[in-house]
Amino acid sequence: MKRLATVIAILLVMLLTGGFSFSVYDDSEEKSFSLDDLYDYQKEYKTEELSVCSLNTAKTYMDYRMTTVVSSRQYQFIHNYCTVDRRTGFLYDEEGFIAVALGSYYGEIGDRYYFTLETGIVLPLVKAEEKADEDTNSSGCYHVEDGSVIEFVIDSDYARSYFSTYSNGLVLDGNYNNYSLFRGSIVRVEKVLDDKREDLVTYQIDTDLPKQIDIFQYASGY
């Protein structure tokens, strides 16, 4: 009984002092995330195109720990379906879509999108948080105060270690547009559908073939 009482006392202290740490970390070796993959990203899913509602280049961020209402859809999505990349601080889902906050113009929590920038970079994004309507323009497209459409949902501790910070202590001065990979206006927005594309080029290596023979076999092209 004394041992049980001690355990209960420890648990109460941890609850009262914030000793529990609820995180979205997932150590699964099957998942991987690399920013380098975005330089030659291949869209795997069928899509429907949406109107580009703003050309503003600002791309802000929020720490995922700012979402605290456990019963909310965004909290549940972040903590059940997202993984923190411990190198960059980005959150991503099981398909490698990067977690962001978007306005109500962009569907529901869990909806996925391809955002293409003027540089040609395609950003696979998943709506993990929603910008409040009172903070966005009338259509729910962009944040009125800073003009941002995209607001990355991150672990700011890891992000500060990977990206540069400014005198104000913010990652990239609070704007990921200051990082070359994310620079530029949004020129195309596509909502991702459930079905995968059939026109992807795929490669398969046949290890039984002699080395002098071309070992790359490809499916129908674009």
Q: Is the pLDDT of residue 10 over 90?
A: no
State residue 201's pLDDT score. Answer: 54
pLDDT of residue 200: 64
% of the chain surpassing 90 pLDDT: 73
* Counted domains in the chain: 1
Evaluated on CA atoms 54, 55, 60, 65, the torsion sign reads positive
Confidence of residue 53 (pLDDT cuts 50, 70, 90): very high
Domain boundaries, position 127:
37-218
Q: How confident is the model at residue 217 (pLDDT cuts 50, 70, 90)?
A: very low
Q: Where are the alpha helices (DSSP H) in 49-123?
A: 73-81
Backbone dihedral region for residue 220 (phi beyond 0: left; psi -120 to 50: alpha; all else: beta): beta
| Residue 66 belongs to some domain of the structure | yes
Residue 70 is assigned to a structural domain of this protein: yes
**CA separation, residue 166 to residues 88, 124, 182, 220 (Å):** 17, 27, 18, 48
Residue 21 within any structural domain of the chain: no
**Looking at the domain assignment, is residue 196 inside a domain?**
yes
- Domain membership of residue 137 (yes or no) is yes
Mean pLDDT (the chain) is: 84
Q: Is residue 209 part of a domain?
A: yes
Q: What is the pLDDT of residues 13-34, one digit of tens each?
A: 444 444 444 445 444 444 579 9
Q: Could you tell me whether strands 83-84 and 150-154 are parallel, antiparallel, or unpaired per DSSP bridges?
A: unpaired
pLDDT value of residue 197: 86
pTM recorded for the entire structure:
0.78
Q: CA-to-CA distance for 167 and 180, rounded, in angstroms? A: 20
Residue 129 lies in a domain: yes
The mean pLDDT value for 149-160 works out to 98
Q: Which of 58-72, 164-178, 204-218 is least confident?
A: 204-218
Q: Is residue 22 part of a domain?
A: no
- The pLDDT tens digits for 98-127 are 999 999 999 999 999 999 999 999 999 999
Q: What is the mean pLDDT of residues 120-139?
A: 97
